[in-house]
Every structure is written in C-alpha cells, then in structure tokens.
Structure 1
Amino acid sequence: MSDTSDTGAAMPAQALQLHDARPFLEKVLVHGVKHGILDASRMAAIDADAPKGIVQIARYFGSEFLRPELEKARDRMVNLVSLYLLDTTGGEMTQAAVSLRDHSFLSRSKGGSDMLRRLIALPESSNFGLAGHADAEIPRLAAWTLRSYADYQAELARRTHIAQAMGAAEWLAEQYGLDVDELESAGADAEAVIRTGLLMQVLAPGARDTGEWPHAVAFEKLVMAWRKKKPVPPQQLRLTPGLPADLRAAMQAQCAVVLADLPRLQDATVSLRTLLRPLGAFRARYFLLDDPLAELDDYHRSLDTGEAQGEPPAPASKTWVRAVQGNDDEHSLLTLFLCLAAGVPKKTLLTEKAAASLVRKVRKAGLHPALATDFIRAHAPAVHQVDYENLWNSFVQESQALLTSDHDYQMHDALALLRRECNVAG
C-alpha cells in the first residue's frame, strides 16, 4: 500500500470508516462518563448491580456455579441492556446514558428480557394447527438473549405480520360462524383463510349473512354460478365490510394473489374439479372445509345423472388395470401419465434414480402430453375420463416449463416437483 504522506495527497474522508464492534451498553457507558452524565457514584452502583444480575441470569439459564455459565450470563446481561436501550432511545447515546442514570441497571436488563418475552410470545407460524406447539420458553429465550438488535427487529416485524394475519383470519372466520378451534383442527393457514374470504367477496358477497364457510363442493357451485354471469374480473378487491382498521394491511397483502387467480377461476375451459383437487397448488392457496359426505353425495349424484342419460359408462380396459394395478390415487396416476408422455416404461411409482432419468429424457427428447391423453381416452374407465384428462392437463400446464427447462441444470426443482406431485420413493 502506497504512503500518501510523501505526496501530500489527502485520503478522502469517506474512503475508510472504522467499525465499532463494542456492545451498545459499553459505548453508552463511555459516552456517559465522558459527558458527565454518569458520575462516580452512579458507576459504582452499576458495578454493584451487574454481578447480581449475572448470577440471576446464570441461575435461570443453567448454573451460577460454573465459570462458563457465568461468562455467558455476562454476555446475556450486556446484550439485554443494550437491546432495551437501543429500542427505547433509538440508539441515541445521550438519552441512553440518562436512562442508566435515572433507573437501576437491573431494571434495564429486565426491560430487555421483557422485550424478548413479548417477542417469543408472538406466533412463529401462521398455521393455526401449529399454535401452542412452540418449544419451551427458556431455550428460546436463551437463544434470543445473545442475538443482535437487528435480528430482534427483523423477527419482531416477521412475527407481528404473522400475528396480524392470524387476527384477520380469526375475524373473517368469525363472520362465517367458524371459531378458532375449527381452524386449529383443520390446520388452516391464516393467509389461506384471508384469500378465501377475499374471494368470497367476489363470488358471493352475501354469503357472510348465511354464516356458511364453503366446502369444496359448495365452492365449486359458487364458481360455476359466477362463471355463468360472465363477470369482468375486478381490478381491485373489496375488503369485507366492518373489517377493523388494524387488520386491513394483513388482508390487503393477499389481494394480489387472489386477483391473479381470478382469470383461471373465470375460464370455463379450466376444470374446477381439477383446479380444486386436494393436493393441487391452487387448493393449497385457499382454505375450504372438509366435508367428505358432501363430496361423496355429489359424486354419486353425478354418476346417477350420467347413467340416466344413456348406457352405463364403459369400464376400464385390461390395459388400464394392468398399468394402474389398483393404484388410482392422483399421485400414482400422474406418475403413470408422465411416464407415457416421456416415452419411458409405464409405472405408478418411481425411484429417485428413475425420476432423474425421466427428467433427463424429457429434456433431451421433449414431453408429449398427447400420448397420455390418448391412453386415458382409450383405456380409462369412462366415468373418470374427463376428470383424469383435466388432472393431467392441469399438471402439464403447471409443470411442463420446469420439466423441460435447461436453467435447472442440476434438476433440483424438477425433482422436487416430481416428489410433490407424483410417486417418488425416497
């Protein structure tokens, strides 16, 4: 490095800045003493209180009789006081020094501890099924007593957002006669509840008065009725009337997702039965009640209607029976259809190695969805052919670009897709 002193050149003022890595508490103490805010008697009081606090913290998190525990407790106490002073003064050192002067040192440490307790009391996940299942408080508090103020602020913002989303979801559910216990037992995500509530404002604004949250069959009928009206999708969503002001932001955060889904819901060529299949990506974004009896009744009614109009539907061919081997769940069927479209041996279960080989073949020779469609039409039981075609077409629309993409050269995303949608043995 050249020495600029010989040439008389001055280094720009912003070219080099020193990073002060000292804890905020240490900086405040130095500042307070230097500016006469903390006199000798106040510093002596702090020196007397600090060891008491260290022993208390060590006892709470482990043992006050082990040197490593005491050293860690000292770090925790320094960080707790620093957190509290940063949060209450905005990092202004004179105000922080005055706080240390006017209040006991242990009270500042307790203030930091109370901040962290409030933080970890906020929900970590917006899934109602996970509520109340967080780890014990002491281990979580122990971890956070050593985290930075920036970490605290980021986590506080994240958890506050989650709490607001859960509050909005609870309020929405209450409007339709659902209580929190039902959301918890169903493992509902707060965001999914909010999106469904927003969607209901488009499909059936008056449904809230009936006190009914939709199950899949009822929701499908709502969408069919909405399609018949041939509506123009709204540019903005109408929030539920009566929504408290503090919950508006949480609901508005989900509007973009719902607006993006409306065109697919409106498209009459898109099968609702396929769109709403239980493990599909669309269904995962919304919360619909499980009502097996309603779905079974709807299924039998569709069979009765079909049989009343003509001859009984044709059964599956022997080729279909051999190919499926009794595995007619969605994952198995999609695995079979994908094998057909890729030109590999027909299987309803793939090993990891076979799945990777299939993806490589698709990227080399392409995917031919019509091969699977032709197989369905020729061999599947007639009563299910439309549903199977819609299931396959929906999968192709959502997955073909990823399966054939050269950008995912290590196939991580493609294989993750197959594990989620098809049958891939671990």
Structure 2
Amino acid sequence: MTVLDTTSLDAQPVAVANALQLHDARPFSEKALVYGVQHGILDAARLAAICADAPKGMVQIARYFGSEFLRPELEKARDRMVNLISLYLLDTTGGDVAKAAVSLRDHSFLSRSKGGSDMLKRLIAMPESSNFGMAGYDDAQTPLLAVWSLRSYTDYQAELARRSEIARAIRAAQWLAEQHDLDTDELEAAGADAEAVIRTGLLMQALAPRAMHLGEWPNTVALEKLVTALRKKKLAAPTQLPLPAGVPAELRAVMQAQCASVLADLPKLLDAANPLRNLLRPTGAFRARYFLLDDPLAEVDHYHRSLDAIEEGGEPPRPASKTWTRTTQGNEDEHSLLTLFLCLAAGAPKKTLLTEKAAASLVRKIRKSGLQPELATAFIRSHAPGAYQSDYIGMWNSFVQESGKTLGSDMDYQMHDALAVLRRECHVVG
C-alpha cells in the first residue's frame, strides 16, 4: 500500500497525490488518502503521522497473527491493516470518500485499524449456526479474524446480514421455549435447531393456544395424544396462524417466516387417514422439521399401555418368527429394517445392510422393475413380532410415501438423490 511506503510520502503533497492516483482503484482507505491529499484535507504533518503509525500497526498485527520477525508475515500484516481500515471507513462513512478523508485527518491511523478489527470481532462473536448445540465455540476466533481481516466489505455485509438473521432466530426460539419453561441449556444439550424450535412453538400455538404459557414443551407421546384428541373432534386445519401474544416486535418477522411451513403441515397432522406414527417417526421428514423432547419414560409407559390394551382383548402379542430372527440377525433398528423392507419390495436378496455398490444396484433394479410395497407389508404381518407390526407397517408406508418417487425417478440420472435417500434412511456403508 502506498501509505506504508514512507519514501513516497516524504515528497511534496502534490507529488504524493500524483503518485497515489495510480492506485485509485485499490482499497477504499487508499482512495480516501488520495482524496484527502488532493483536496487539502490531509496536510504534510498528517501524512507524516500516518507514516509513523503504519509500521507500528503492521508490527502489532504481525505479532498478533504470527511473528513480526518474518518479512512475509509483515507483508500480510500490511494487507490486513489496509483492509481493516477500509472496512471501518466504508462502514462508518457509507462509502463517502470525503468523510473518510476527514476521519483519517481527525483520528489516528491505528484507531481506524482497531475499529475495523472490532467490527470483525463483533461479527465473529455472532452465532454462525442456528443449531443450539454449536453455541459457545469461540476457540477459533483468532483464525477466523485472520481470514476475515482479508475479506471485502461486501463479504462482511453479507455475513453480517446472515448472522443477524440467525441471531434473531435463536432469540425467537429462546422466547418460545421460555413460554414452556424450557431452558436454553436443554436446547443446547439436545442440539436443537432454532427454526425447528420456532416451528414447534407455532405448532403448539395452533393446536393448543390456551396452553401456550402453561404447558410443558411437547415430547412425541404428548404430541401424539394431543393430535389424537383433536382428530376425534374432526377439526379443520386453520388457514391462518397468529403469533403468540406478547412476541417482541423485533422477533415477529423471523417467526412469521416459519408460519407457511407449519400451516402446510397442519392438514397432514389433523387428517385421521394419515397414521401419526408415520409422521412422528424419528427419521421422518415431518419430525425433522420440529423439535420434540426425548422422554424415554413416557415412551416406555406408552408402549406398556399399548400392550395392556392388547392383553385385555385376550390375545397376547405373537413373538417374532424364526424367519424374522434369522433374517434380521438382531438388527432391528429403524435403518436396518427399512433396508430389509426395501429389498423385499424390490425383489432383491434380503439384507439389513448395503454397501454403496449394492445400494446403487438396488436403485437400478427399482427403476427397472419397480417396487411392490405390499411384499414387505406381507412379510411384516407374517413374521414380525406382533407387538411391533403396526409400527413397522406405519414406518414402511411412510418411507414409501416420502421416498418412493425419488427412488424410482428417471430424472435423477446419476442417482445422487436416490442414494442420498438410502444413506439417510437405510443402513448403507462405504
């Protein structure tokens, strides 16, 4: 940067201006310096002070990021200082070169550099992700500052806007969680996404508005009971979704951005023809959009109540058949079972685990011969444990409904989407 070359600034102001004109298209701080010299805003004394400050700033920056004794580090420090000053001047003057020149006249060169550094530190301190589980990781501040100190003002503005939106989403999620006495620590421990928390809060506002400030945050069992009760009343899904009372004005927009998604999900949730277990299964697309608490005790209690209901009918649940035991080999997690069911429906050898190559072959077979979901359903009814058959069939039907078109689509020429579905929903290993 010309302002750091003391020999070029020891000459007369006019000569300096003529030399600096060659760099007019370069960083904003240089443009401000050129303008200041040409219009008499920066006199020889001020230029001398800048020339004295600049080497000090370079050494400080080089020391902060590495070593002040290496020439490459000093050269990089010069670039950082130029950019930091440009960022600060652009931000505080709105890109007005005359105001920027006055700022260089009235304040020290080092203070403008520090101003740019403080801007970036505030940016880096803002949340980078809306996932609560990613909060609190500031160990990388220095490396991030090293990166951002060389980025453009346009990049800074874009990142500031992105992180500001994330910060508003987090505050909105925290506000909704507080209405249900749910602490931020619990959100962090669960790794909840702010958007999922917002959608769940809005969903509860739609389903049980009177309990908005009283009820606990829902778990799967509680939501299932609530929706089941509402289905019995045969209520129509609302067409509008008002925000909860008392929402701070600055959080309304970020909540309203999620209303359309919740309104689209409500008809599916309230439609009695759509099995709830399908919607609420842990890896389903619906469940992924919402944050429900894990409550193993509630789920165990719900399971035993289901068994009691079966036993009261005089028919104890049938155990798994030998075929089921031999086929699954104890692999009865959701991903393994969906792999098995998909193989059955495709007419492929029964497996609970697929290699990447086998997964690709299975997709090609599905696209050539199609799927027969009823084959998997029949296998479940004939061989699965009686107590779980309903859940397995619901899980399988939901998978077919959500993923069947993608697996059979001829538009996915490279099978990228289909294989992504299998990696997400089934048991696929590299």
Whole-Å separation in 1 of the counterparts to 2:326 and 2:294: 33
Partner Cα distance (1:110, 1:222) in 2: 56
Q: Mapping of 1:272-287 within 5 angstroms?
A: 272-287=276-291
2:419 corresponding residue in structure 1: 415
> Which residue in 1 is equivalent to 2:346?
342
Amino acid at match of 1:143: V
Give the Cα separation in 2 of the matches to 1:296 and 1:21: 69
Q: How does 1:3-152 map to 2 (within 5 A)?
A: 21-152=25-156
Aligned with 2:189 (options 182, 185, 191):
185
Counterparts of 1:400 and 1:191 in 2: how far apart (Å)?
27
User: Aligned residue for 1:392?
Assistant: 396
- Matched with 1:249 is 253
Match of 2:294, SS state, is: coil
1:171 Cα offset (Å): 1.1
- Percent same amino acid at aligned positions? 77
Report what 1:379 is aligned to: 383
Specify the alignment match of 1:6 in structure 2.
none
CA 1:324–1:21: 2 relative to 1, 3 Å: farther
1:319 maps to which residue? 323
**How far 1:316 moved relative to its partner?**
2.3
For structure 2, the residue ranges without an aligned partner over 5 or more in a row are: 1-22
Greater Cα offset, 339-348 or 369-378: 369-378
Mapped to 2, the partners of 1:333 and 1:86 lie a distance apart of 58
Paired AA for residue 224 in structure 1? T
Once the two structures are TM-superposed, the CA of residue 93 in structure 1 deviates from its matched residue by 1.1
Deviation at 1:211, TM superposition (A): 4.0
| 1:367 aligns to 2:371 (yes or no) | yes
The separation in 1 between residues aligned to 2:24 and 2:183, in whole angstroms, is: 51
Structure 1 range deviating more: 93-102 or 297-306: 93-102
SS at 1:206 equivalent = helix
Equivalent position of 1:172 in the other structure: 176
Q: Which residue of 2 aligns with 1:218?
A: 222
Distance 2:303 2:24 in 1: 69
Q: How many residues align?
A: 408
Equivalents in 2 of 1:384, 1:288: separation in Å? Answer: 22
Partner in structure 1 of residue 207 of structure 2: 203
Q: Conserved in 1, the CA contact under 8 Å of 2:134 and 2:191?
A: yes
- TM-fit CA distance, 1:21: 4.8
1:128-176 Cα shifts (integer Å, max 9, x gaps): 1111124332111111101111111111111111111111111111111
C-alpha displacement of 1:216: 1.0
**Which residue, out of 231, 234, 237, partners 2:238?**
234
Rounded Cα–Cα distance in structure 1 between residues aligned with 2:427 and 2:312: 36
Cα distance in 1, alignment partners of residues 132 and 180 from structure 2: 17
Identify which range, 334-343 or 226-235, moves more after superposition.
Answer: 226-235
Structure 1 unaligned regions, length at least 5 = 1-18
Query: Is the CA contact 2:219–2:295 (under 8 Å) kept in the aligned structure 1?
Result: yes
Deviation of 1:20 after TM superposition, in Å, equals 7.1
Cα 1:83–1:330 change in 2 (3 A) is: same
The superposition leaves residues 297-338 of structure 1 with CA deviations (integer Å, 9 ceiling, x where unpaired) of 000001100110132133222222222222111111100010
Distance 1:87 1:386, change over 3 A: same
Please, which moves more after superposition, 176-185 or 41-50? 41-50
Q: Deviations over 1:198-254 (max 9, x none)?
A: 000111112233241111111111111222222222222111111111111221121
CA contact (8 A) 2:128 2:163 kept: yes
Q: Distance in 1 between matches of 2:315 and 2:96?
A: 83
**What is the one-letter code of the residue matched to 1:385?**
Q
Q: Distance in 2 between matches of 1:139 and 1:313?
A: 59
Deviates more, 1:66-75 or 1:271-280: 271-280
* Distance in 2, Cα, partners of 1:277 & 1:421: 11
Cα distance in 1 for residues equivalent to 2:164 and 2:66: 30
Classify the secondary structure of the residue corresponding to 1:278. coil
- Describe the superposition over 1:103-133 as per-residue Cα deviations: whole angstroms up to 9, x where unpaired: 1111111110010000000011111111112
The 10-residue stretch of structure 1 (109-118 or 233-242) with the greater mean CA deviation from structure 2: 233-242
What CA distance in whole angstroms lies between the structure 1 residues aligned with 2:376 and 2:204?
36
Farther-moved stretch of structure 1 (380-389 vs 414-423): 380-389
2:3 corresponds in structure 1 to none
1:161 maps to a residue whose letter is E
Equivalent position SS for 1:372: helix
Distance in 1, Cα, partners of 2:269 & 2:24: 56
Q: Normalized against structure 2, the TM-score is what?
A: 0.92
Separation (CA, whole Å) in 2 of partners of 1:326 and 1:274: 23
Residue 4 (structure 1) aligns with? none
Residues in 2 aligned to 1:111 and 1:347: alpha-carbon distance in whole angstroms: 61
Q: What's 1:405 paired with?
A: 409
Q: Indicate whether 1:357 and 2:369 are aligned.
A: no
Structure 1 Cα separation of the partners of residues 282 and 138 of structure 2? 27
Q: Distance in 2 between matches of 1:200 and 1:271?
A: 19
Deviation larger for 119-128 or 34-43: 34-43
Secondary structure class of the residue paired with 1:115: helix
Partner SS, residue 210 of structure 1: coil
What SS class does the counterpart of residue 213 from structure 2 fall into?
Answer: helix
What is the rounded CA distance, in whole Å, between the counterparts of 1:100 and 1:54 in structure 2? 17
Match of 1:9 in 2: none
